[in-house]
Amino acid sequence: MESLRVMCCIVIDNALKDVVAIPKANGADIHYIYPPYNNLPGILHSINADPGSCNAVVCIIPCNSFEEIKAIVDSVDTTASHLYISYVCVGNTCNSSMMQDVIALYNGNISAGEFEFIVHKAQFIAQQHFEFKHLSRQHIHQLEDTQRDFDALINIGKALSIEKNPDRLLKLILHLSKTITGADAGSIYLVEEINGNKLLRFKHSHTFSKDLPYEEFTIPMDKNSIAGYVAVTQQVLNIPDVYKLGPDDPVSFNSSFDKAHNYRSKSMLVVPMINHINKTIGVIQLINSKEDIENTYDGNEAYSIKLTCEEDFDTKVVPFQKRYESLMEAVASQAAIAIENNRMIRQIQEQFEEFVRASVSAIESRDVATSGHSFRVADVCMKMAQAINEENTGPFATTTFTDTELKELEYAALLHDFGKVYIDTAIFLKSHKLYPKDLENILLKLEYLYRYQQLKYAMAIFNEMKKETEFNKRLTHVNALEDERDDVLHKILVARQKVIELNNPMVKEVNVENEVKNLFAMLQSLDCYDVENNAMEIFNDYYIKNLTIKRGSLNDDERREIESHVVHTYNFVSKIPWPPEFARIPEIAAKHHEKLDGTGYPYGLKGDQIPLQARIMALADIFDALIATDRPYKPPITLEQALSILQEEAQKNKLDKDLVALFINKKIYEQFDRNAYRTKTSVQ
């Protein structure tokens, strides 16, 4: 750090005029003070007149005047200047508690050499104080910057976690990035893959100083563009001036946009958005930082400055500070998480809906007579709910279904007859033929068998050695036992490895049935007892059934369970971990056979105990059953007869009369095809 030139000023009590020997060419300003020292503040103010200088002031005073003079000095405000005061006391030593500011004590005269030493010492102390103060200010600014950055990251994390709309999310990411860095403009690119080729889509852009139009376009994800280079290399680029990029720089700047819109891109900070598996999913490109390195204003203030003329781009645009590289890397990381989460949520929603529809299709394809029933019931329910939303008078004038409630009703209608599928979660997660605990169990058993056989043969050998037979004969028997032991132990080790290999669902090169059969036979030939001397079963039918699986990781029973169906719709639907807004789906689906008069099932509910959605579904369910033309258990009827039956059910207080009236008056029965979904959901 460059320090200022340190000037020196000497203030001497006139009583010590003859005590101090002042060199002729000392270069210091000399001032004399007199009791009661009324001229001292004026002297200090004159020294303090130039805040751009650093001044070392030495007060050479009598010891017995120290506290009086120091009190006067302390009353003068020198906080805004580089003025540093030291004291030299002459006379008998005093016991003041403030003597820490005294740099020298003299009992007699001060020689010219001592005077020079005092001046140099005071200048050194002043310089040290000045540099420390300057560094302290820098550290304060750095701490303030760090705090602002920390607060910004927290706020960004909160904001990004709340926003669910993908377009608004991108706008929010760019706005927050520009705000905290003071950038005037910025863009967001997202990676997409088309026909195996990775591209960067220019997805969102905004310029604060000028309302510039933009359209989405794609560029190759390669090193031929600045955004492409950052996406490929995953390196942050901080460019002070894009127009000063040279041939040796890794990137070049395309100025066509600037020329077309009379804008001047200058400083640029480009950061990759990298997901949790280290893949680039996009790029944040920030242009023209308006925050200077002297902290005249912070990023939030700088963001609001408009660049209105050509001169502004030279005077108000500065390079992005180095600290913004790591800050924007953190922002980009949070943005990548938010974008990936947003994509995942939308993908899960789409996948779940497709799963529900595919599952309903698969179930209904087993019964040609009812194929498409759940889809048609869902269609009628949605049309009924939309008709209710349009009612401004009558019993449904104050009833409105939100988009979430409409989706809730649709799911409940699609699943109202599901009631056939129940799958153990553990089966879904089964990645090998044996569950981890079962594999661990058999491996422990084999380990126990190994140790048991070791001990068994060790005792046999010991007993053989105790026999009083000829030594060579005993040795022959022992050698035979050792060979037999080694063979058995080797077989157990091979069996252990074989279990691990056969447990792999990808094993294809071997005849698993023969392998398991041989393995079982070998293990059956070995005796093994537990600590209570009970025979232990190492390999049983459960392991045989699973390890002989020829393809995949599921045995026949597990496959049948996956393909099987449970009895009750509610038992299945209520096990789905619905989000809070869909929490009533199981209840709605389970109550669509309830009647207003309490004669329905399964709960025998009456009137308002039945949710409106379930009453809508009851009407839709009965109507679709009435107009069916291919039910084996009943003859077909006409549309007029079906509507008449609905009215009769309403008069008997079975169905909601207001819903039946709406259904007929709005002719909702004409708004869908009674044969819809049959071809799609039936087995051909």
pLDDT in tens, 80-107: 667 788 888 888 766 666 666 788 888 8
Residue whose C-alpha is closest to residue 623's, from 601, 650, 596 = 650
Who has greater pLDDT, 349 or 391?
A: 391
Who has greater pLDDT, 136 or 396?
A: 396
Phi then psi for residue 39, to 5 deg, are -85, -5
pLDDT tens digits for 543-590?
A: 989 998 887 788 888 876 665 543 457 888 888 888 888 999 989 988
| CATH fold of 365-421+567-681 | Hypothetical protein af1432 (1.10.3210)
| CATH fold of 6-135 | Rossmann fold (3.40.50)
579-588 long-range contacts, Cβ below 8 Å, gap at least 24? 581/404, 581/408, 582/404, 582/407, 582/408, 582/411, 584/408, 584/412, 584/611, 584/613, 585/408, 585/411, 585/412, 585/415, 587/611, 587/614, 588/408, 588/409, 588/412, 588/613, 588/614, 588/617
Would you list the DSSP string of 615-659? Answer: HHHHHHHHHHHHH-S--TTS----HHHHHHHHHHHHHTTSS-HHH
Mean pLDDT value of segment 65-73: 89
Eight-class DSSP state of 535? B
- Out of 156-165, 255-264, 388-397, pick the least confident: 156-165
Is residue 36 reached through a cis peptide bond, with omega within 30 degrees of 0 on the bond before it? Answer: yes
State the first-to-last Cα distance of the chain, in angstroms, to the nearest integer: 85
The SS3 assignment for 397 reads coil
What are the Cα distances from residue 570, in Å, to 363, 522, 574, 601, 615? 16, 49, 6, 13, 17
pLDDT surpassing 50 at residue 632: no
Eight-class DSSP state of 77? -
| Residue 95 pLDDT | 62
* Residue that is written with structure tokens 């820098």 in the block: 138
Confidence of residue 678 (pLDDT cuts 50, 70, 90): low
Structure tokens at 414: 């699609």
Mean pLDDT value of segment 429-441: 86
Domain residue spans of the chain: 6-135, 163-344, 365-421+567-681, 428-560
pLDDT tens digits for 491-508?
A: 999 999 999 988 888 776
Who has greater pLDDT, 43 or 427?
A: 43
| Residue 50 pLDDT | 56
pLDDT surpassing 80 at residue 468: no
pLDDT surpassing 60 at residue 49: no
| CATH fold of 163-344 | Beta-Lactamase (3.30.450)
| Residue 394 pLDDT | 92
pLDDT surpassing 60 at residue 263: yes
pLDDT surpassing 60 at residue 421: no
**Residues in contact with 605: Cβ distance below 8 Å, sequence separation at least 6, in sequence order:** 591, 594, 598
pLDDT tens digits for 578-598?
A: 888 899 998 998 888 889 999
pLDDT tens digits for 132-187?
A: 776 656 566 666 666 666 776 777 777 777 777 788 888 888 888 888 888 999 99
**Residues in contact with 444: Cβ distance below 8 Å, sequence separation at least 6, in sequence order:** none
| Residue 486 pLDDT | 92
Eight-class DSSP state of 319? P
347-356 long-range contacts, Cβ below 8 Å, gap at least 24? 356/411, 356/414, 356/415
Whether residue 619 contacts residue 660, with contact meaning beta carbons closer than 8 Å, is answered with: yes
pLDDT surpassing 80 at residue 317: yes
- The model's pTM is 0.46
Distance CA 64, CA 105 (A): 12
Structure tokens at 455: 């001990």
| Residue 634 pLDDT | 54
Structure tokens at 111: 């020689």
| Residue 137 pLDDT | 60
Whether residue 317 contacts residue 289, with contact meaning beta carbons closer than 8 Å, is answered with: yes
Mean pLDDT across the chain:
83
Residue whose C-alpha is closest to residue 579's, from 411, 448, 440, 461 = 411
Distance CA 8, CA 57 (A): 6
Mean pLDDT value of segment 533-540: 88
Distance CA 108, CA 118 (A): 15
- Give percent of the chain with pLDDT exceeding 90: 30
- Out of 20-34, 41-55, 204-218, pick the least confident: 41-55
CA angle 607, 613, 618 (to 5 degrees): 70
Distance CA 619, CA 625 (A): 10
